[in-house]
Amino acid sequence: MVPERVLDAAAREKIDTDDDARFYSQPRFVQHVDEAFRERLADLYAESLPAGTTVLDLMSSHVSHFPEDVEFERVLGHGMNGEELGANPYLDEFFTRDLNRKATLPVEDDALDAVTIAASIQYLQYPERVVAEIARALRPGGVLIVSFSNRCFPTKAIRAWREATMDERAALVERYLRAAGGFDSPEVVREQPGTDPFYAVVARTRSIA
């Protein structure tokens, strides 16, 4: 299915138009959100991702924020830097791909129970396409969890994100989901566990009736 368009060309623009692969060529072994955010995210994952889940951590790095005491079936990772992903202790396997150049996932239809995107969706220039790919790769009743705060690499975030308030960002993610199709109405979590605001959009793919 071809997703509807949410963003126009101006809204997809980044300040830094240089290749994303160059920006991410050096590994960054840093945290992008504060500890309270990370703990809240691990709790949300613990509530939403049962043991035995097959999960893809999309736009990942050396960390995935998964709870330590849950045994997943298989954890697939994606990101831009192989060194970071290789150091991520949660990942059973990983692939690198610039989703602004190729917005497809090398995953079969209905293969995943869950997809997570943490602190990253603002870098996607064609999020409608990527979310449509996620909907394809998730099984019916699978879950997508998109979390974000107010921090980012501003030169690499798209204009629509840079110019939006936090609530508008949550609404934007909801529009991506609607445009991609295949998801039930999402739940939006808005909290302030520490300094960094915690936002998460949690959506399930429609179950076959």
Nearer to ligand SAM, 68 or 209 (CB): 68
- Please state the closest distance from residue 84 (CB atom) to ligand SAM, in A: 6
CA distance 152 to 119: 8
**Is-contact 183 206, C-beta < 8 A?**
yes
Choose, by CB under 6 A, the member of 6, 7, 55, 80 that binds ligand SAM. 80
Asked if residue 61 binds ligand SAM (CB under 6 A), the reply is yes
CA distance 119 to 150: 9
Counting every residue, how long is the chain? 209
CA distance 39 to 114: 19
- Please state the closest distance from residue 120 (CB atom) to ligand SAM, in A: 4
Helix (H, G, I), strand (E, B) or coil at 115: strand
Asked if residue 169 binds ligand SAM (CB under 6 A), the reply is no
Helix (H, G, I), strand (E, B) or coil at 152: coil
Choose, by CB under 6 A, the member of 99, 105, 145, 146 that binds ligand SAM. 99
Q: Which of residues 19-48 bind ligand SAM (CB under 6 A)?
A: 20, 24, 32
- Please state the closest distance from residue 96 (CB atom) to ligand SAM, in A: 8
Label the pairing between strands 198-204 and 187-191: antiparallel
Binding mask 116-145 for ligand SAM (x = CB under 6 A): --xxx--x----------------------
Enter the tokens of residue 6.
């949410």
Nearer to ligand SAM, 155 or 207 (CB): 155
- Using CA atoms, how far residue 39 sits from 15, 89, 156, in Å, is 32, 17, 26
Asked if residue 182 binds ligand SAM (CB under 6 A), the reply is no
CA distance 5 to 18: 24
Q: Which residues bind ligand SAM (CB under 6 A)?
A: 20, 24, 32, 59-61, 63, 79-80, 98-100, 118-120, 123
